[in-house]
Amino acid sequence: MGQFTTWRVLPETGLYQRSVTLGSILAGIRQLFGRASTSSSSGNAARAKVCHMSSMARKPMKQYGANGPAMHKSEEDFIYNWMNKLRTMRSNGVANGRIVRCRKSTETGTESLRPGTKRVHFVRHGEGHHNVHSTRWFDEKKRGNPWQHASCPIDPGLTDLGVTQAKELNERSERELGAGPQVVVVSPLLRTLQTATLGFDYIVGKEVPFVAQEDCREIMGQHRCDRRVSPAFRASSFPHVDFSGLEDHDPVLAARCGDPTEEDLEATAETDAVFNAVPNYAEARETDEAAVGRALDFLFWIRDRPEQDICVVTHSAFLCVAFNGAMMCDCEDLQSWFSTGEIRSVDLTYEA
């Protein structure tokens, strides 16, 4: 009966719950009739399956992001339950007294900002090849985790749609952000580096620093797409980005898996040499508590920077942790799942 329900926030608790609404009933009926209209004899069904699979090679599957739903239908239950867990952790004091209040920003420039307030433009990267990979995985109703499978690309870049989303972000940013951010902080993964470069192309080379920051990376461990490469490998492609604050190895995973061995670093296979293979990578996953702590570390790092107008280019799961587990937001919209290429401007105030 899941097709007749939708996820809604209960005002009294601030948590998501599955509910039946007129809209969800109509959507469920459309879904059922859609399935019925595509069913036929076993021979026709087999031929239809062959046609479907062959068409996949000719044209991309339905995309998710700025031009469609923010998440795949198959991910909804996990994501909304995870948001509930993060919000409960926040209510139970996981921040240990570090409070970051977040409200929608409706102005440009920093003249009206009070001392200690930061205006931050949070951006989710444009669509990456791993997003297409997982979309196809779920559309084909495969079981298991698509991001752990060997077919998932390591540290993937943007798709053509992702490049378009980043370029549209550049046009919107130049039009709506006034003088623009005073610094662009970016996760060191390829898709975020590309989004930051294309999405803020109008300030590249104009004395606005671009800084790679480890603490705004995606949730780490298990997922192949979230392994980062050596900063030295990326620096030549992104000379405008300051990678000086990053270690050659992965410090977060090293704390859980141990540093890469000499055999890892001296591996002859190009992928191992470039991607600094980490022992037991697939067995280690950053805990929710660790992710919230890292998000808070990052937010207070922003507080301590001299700039007041800051752009952060990062990832969907990290944004979910930051907005649902680390920050106290003044409206529900801010805490929803980000679409690819989406930007949200907020004002942050701190208590500690």
pLDDT tens for each residue of 202-221: 999 999 999 999 999 998 87
301 belongs to a structural domain = yes
Q: Is residue 104 part of a domain?
A: yes
- On whether both 40 and 124 belong to a single domain, the answer is no
pLDDT single digits (tens) 304-351: 999 999 999 999 999 999 999 999 999 888 999 999 999 999 999 999
pLDDT given at position 121: 96
Q: What is the CATH number of the domain that holds 260?
A: 3.40.50.1240
| Same domain? 232 vs 191 | yes
Q: Closest Cα partner for 318 from 351, 286, 275, 282?
A: 286
User: pTM value?
Assistant: 0.78
Check whether residue 268 and residue 338 sit in a common domain. Answer: yes
Per the domain annotation, does 80 fall within a domain?
A: yes
How many independent structural domains does the chain possess?
2
Q: Looking at the structure, tell me whether residues 11 and 81 fall in a common domain.
A: no
Q: What is the pLDDT of residues 141-190, one digit of tens each?
A: 888 888 877 788 888 899 999 999 999 999 999 988 877 899 999 999 99
The range of the structural domain enclosing residue 242 comes to: 73-351
Handedness of CA 284, 287, 292, 297 (dihedral sign): negative
Q: Residues 44, 121: one domain?
A: no
Domain assignment present for 110: yes
- The pLDDT confidence band at residue 276, using thresholds 50, 70 and 90, is very low
Same domain, 47 and 83: no
Residue 77 sits at φ, ψ, to 5 deg, of -60, -45
- The predicted structure's pLDDT at residue 58: 27
Does residue 65 lie within any of the structural domains?
Answer: no
Residue 260 pLDDT greater than 60, yes or no? no
Q: Are residues 130 and 185 in the same domain?
A: yes
Higher per-residue pLDDT: 114 or 73 = 114
Q: Are residues 123 and 189 in the same domain?
A: yes
Which structure tokens are listed for 11?
């005002």
Question: Is 67 contained in some domain?
Answer: no
Residue 299 and residue 181 share a domain: yes
Residues 32 and 124 in one domain: no
Query: Quick one: 87 and 53 in the same domain?
Result: no
Share of the chain above pLDDT 70, in %: 72
Q: Residue 64 falls within a domain, yes or no?
A: no
pLDDT at 20: 62
pLDDT band at 61 (very low <50, low <70, confident <90, very high): very low
Indicate whether 36 belongs to any domain: yes
Residue 56 has pLDDT above 50, yes or no: no
Judgement on whether residues 25 and 140 belong to the same structural domain of the protein: no
Indicate left, alpha or beta for 93 from its phi (over 0: left) and psi (-120 to 50: alpha): left
